[in-house]
């Protein structure tokens, strides 16, 4: 592709020209591609993914499009074919559930580490950088429609559900990488006909809902940078797990880890942790806490034993030589708070704390972890500890209903777990996102900047080993 054409495509000024081979290949027709993106999995493997509505029954013998990398073309592999899954037990009553319909197939291909250019169906794909400078962090982005709580967010209102606004604002920061810390899907039950804010919204766990809740509003960022995806509790098997494994999970697809058959849920609700190198002595460890409970676990509990083995793997990953900054990320807050209306606060996720305590006592984390990054709570928290614990950040304010604010100031005895002592906290409860920026050499580590949905900078926190120093503390008004 000529340089001027490539520049035009990236700027949005011209339409991409199809490759000659692609023009004659029905599976590669641009009209069939519903979504295309790149995500990064274990060992930093970049994976190109495509959602396509092409069906071989329409003609031809290929379900997946051609992927073009540095002048060479190859057929993408079918990850999972289109189909409607039989109704399985969900978090809702059967009368408020329906089978998950996926009238689209998902295709994928591993990208070579030295790739310079890639595209599919005329769409340029963003390639990973060995040392990303700006990492966008967002989470809890879906629009809540949940009968059990009688909560129906106004998904049709950009002010009430600003995920698309956040995407547009954040894309303007030109991130090199996007990190989503879980909960992509919230439209579980139908919107009542008398509620205008979400009237006629798709619901359930099929493709139409995934498209409305995530892929359509996130499209600009999916084309802007590669993604690292973390699984949230809304993607566990009784909720949107089927879509998670079809669409986003970075591991190979397997029927036993598809959430289609509930007999396999005890396997599919857990995934092995993995590390992604960020260059410059930094790495990210991704942990699947989708099924974590609120209460402490007993050592004989099967979940305790699964998580214990996985946290042992975390310790081994954190001990990798040559790493100066390890960021541990999972969906549920561990050494942070969940606010309740009034002045109450719920401490961190006690099921995970109980397992971590069995391995590391009241240190919870192994020494090799400098920063813990979570979501689940729909607000922003940046916590520095006077005790020897990793700096902790919660960034879960990406679209779902915002939580009430933490008490300000925090009670002097506030602690997210036994043995922790808080030094300072910065927090706010407005919609927004966070941007990680690599500190310039010779410093190591990152700065963490919290922004509103409109792009107003609220606070800047500088990380130095396990400490976090923010330019504003306490409650930050937007």
**Which H or E run contains 149?**
none
Residue 322 backbone class (left: φ over 0; alpha: ψ -120 to 50; beta: rest): left
Asked, for residue 119, whether it belongs to a domain, the answer is: no
| Tens of pLDDT, residues 306-365 | 999 999 999 999 999 999 999 999 999 999 999 988 768 899 999 999 999 999 999 999
What's the rounded Cα separation, in Å, for the pair 115 and 108?
Answer: 16
Asked, for residue 189, whether it belongs to a domain, the answer is: yes
CA distance between the termini of the chain:
45
Do 103 and 158 fall into the same domain?
no
At 62 the pLDDT is: 80
The widest CA-to-CA distance across the chain, in whole angstroms, is: 69
Task: Kindly report the backbone phi and psi dihedral angles of residue 209, in degrees, each rounded to the nearest multiple of 5, phi listed first.
Answer: -75, -40
Domains in the chain, number: 2
- For residue 248, the 8-state DSSP code is I
| Tens of pLDDT, residues 394-428 | 999 999 999 999 999 999 999 999 999 999 999 99
Do 107 and 189 fall into the same domain?
no
Do 186 and 320 fall into the same domain?
yes
Do 362 and 464 fall into the same domain?
yes
Higher pLDDT, 116 or 10: 116
Check: CB of residue 200 under 8 Å from CB of residue 216.
no
**Non-local CB neighbours of 169 within 8 Å, separated by 6+ positions:** 433, 451, 453, 454, 455
CATH number at residue 369: 3.60.21.10
Do 261 and 387 fall into the same domain?
yes
Mean pLDDT score of the chain, rounded to an integer? 93
3-state secondary structure of 463: strand
Q: Where are the alpha helices (DSSP H) in 261-372?
A: 265-268, 302-318, 350-360
Band (189; pLDDT cuts 50, 70, 90): very high
Band (61; pLDDT cuts 50, 70, 90): low
**Tokens 């069906």 belong to residue:** 55
Higher pLDDT, 18 or 287: 287
Supply angle C-alpha 59, 60, 66, rounded to 5.
Answer: 130
DSSP string covering 169-222: HHHTT--SEEEE-S----B-SPPPTT-GGGTT---SSSHHHHIIIIITTTHHHH
What's the rounded Cα separation, in Å, for the pair 57 and 143?
Answer: 35
3-state secondary structure of 145: strand
Do 233 and 378 fall into the same domain?
yes
The angle that helices 302-318 and 350-360 make with each other, rounded to 10 degrees, is 60
Do 338 and 202 fall into the same domain?
yes
CA distances from 170 to 49, 101, 432 (A): 22, 31, 9
- Using a pLDDT cut of 70, give the percent of the chain over it: 94
Structural domain ending residue among the three candidates 114, 144, 171: 114
Do 230 and 339 fall into the same domain?
yes
What's the rounded Cα separation, in Å, for the pair 376 and 351?
Answer: 15
Over range 210-215, report the average pLDDT: 98
Residue 195 tokens, joined:
């509620």
Residues paired with residue 123 on neighbouring β-strands, in sequence order: 120
Q: Which residue range(s) make up the domain with 15?
A: 3-114
């Amino acid at each position: 592709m000529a340089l001027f054409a490539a520049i035009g495509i990236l700027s949005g000024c011209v339409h991409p020209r199809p490759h000659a081979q692609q023009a004659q290949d029905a599976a590669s027709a641009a009209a069939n591609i519903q979504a295309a993106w790149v995500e990064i999995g274990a060992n930093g493997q970049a994976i190109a993914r495509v959602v396509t509505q092409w069906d071989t029954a329409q003609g031809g013998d290929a379900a997946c499009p051609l992927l073009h990398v540095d002048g060479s073309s190859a057929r993408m592999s079918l990850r999972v074919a289109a189909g409607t899954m039989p109704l399985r037990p969900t978090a809702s009553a059967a009368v408020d559930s329906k089978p998950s319909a996926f009238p689209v197939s998902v295709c994928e291909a591993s990208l070579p580490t030295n790739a310079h250019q890639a595209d599919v169906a005329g769409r340029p794909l963003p390639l990973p950088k060995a040392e990303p400078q700006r990492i966008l962090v967002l989470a809890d982005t879906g629009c809540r429609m949940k009968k059990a709580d009688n909560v129906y967010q106004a998904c049709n209102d950009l002010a009430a559900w600003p995920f698309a606004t956040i995407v547009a604002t954040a894309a303007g920061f030109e991130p090199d990488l996007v990190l989503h810390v879980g909960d992509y899907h919230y439209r579980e039950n139908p919107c009542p006909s008398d509620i205008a804010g979400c009237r006629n919204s798709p619901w359930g766990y099929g493709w139409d809902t995934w498209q409305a809740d995530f892929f359509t509003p996130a499209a600009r960022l999916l084309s802007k940078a590669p993604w690292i995806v973390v699984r949230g509790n809304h993607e566990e098997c009784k909720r949107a797990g089927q879509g998670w494994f079809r669409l986003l999970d970075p591991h190979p697809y397997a029927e036993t880890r598809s959430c289609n058959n509930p007999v396999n849920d005890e396997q599919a609700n857990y995934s092995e942790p993995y590390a992604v190198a960020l260059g410059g002595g930094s790495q990210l460890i991704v942990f699947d806490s989708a099924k974590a409970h609120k209460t402490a676990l007993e050592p004989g509990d099967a979940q305790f034993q699964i998580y214990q083995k996985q946290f042992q793997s975390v310790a081994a990953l954190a001990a990798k030589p040559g790493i100066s900054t390890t960021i541990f990320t999972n969906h549920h807050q561990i050494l942070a708070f969940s606010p309740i209306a009034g002045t109450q606060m719920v401490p961190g996720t006690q099921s995970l704390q109980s397992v971590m305590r069995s391995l590391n006592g009241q240190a919870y984390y192994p020494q090799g972890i400098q920063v813990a990054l979570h979501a689940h709570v729909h607000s922003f928290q940046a916590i520095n500890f006077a005790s020897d614990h990793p700096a902790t950040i919660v960034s879960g304010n990406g679209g779902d209903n915002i939580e009430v604010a933490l008490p300000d100031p925090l009670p002097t005895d506030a602690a997210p777990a036994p043995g922790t002592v808080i030094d300072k906290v910065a927090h706010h409860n407005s919609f927004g996102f966070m941007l990680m920026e690599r500190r310039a050499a010779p410093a190591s580590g990152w700065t963490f900047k919290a922004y509103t949905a409109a792009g107003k900078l609220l606070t800047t926190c500088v990380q130095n080993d396990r400490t976090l120093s923010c330019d504003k503390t306490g409650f930050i008004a937007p």
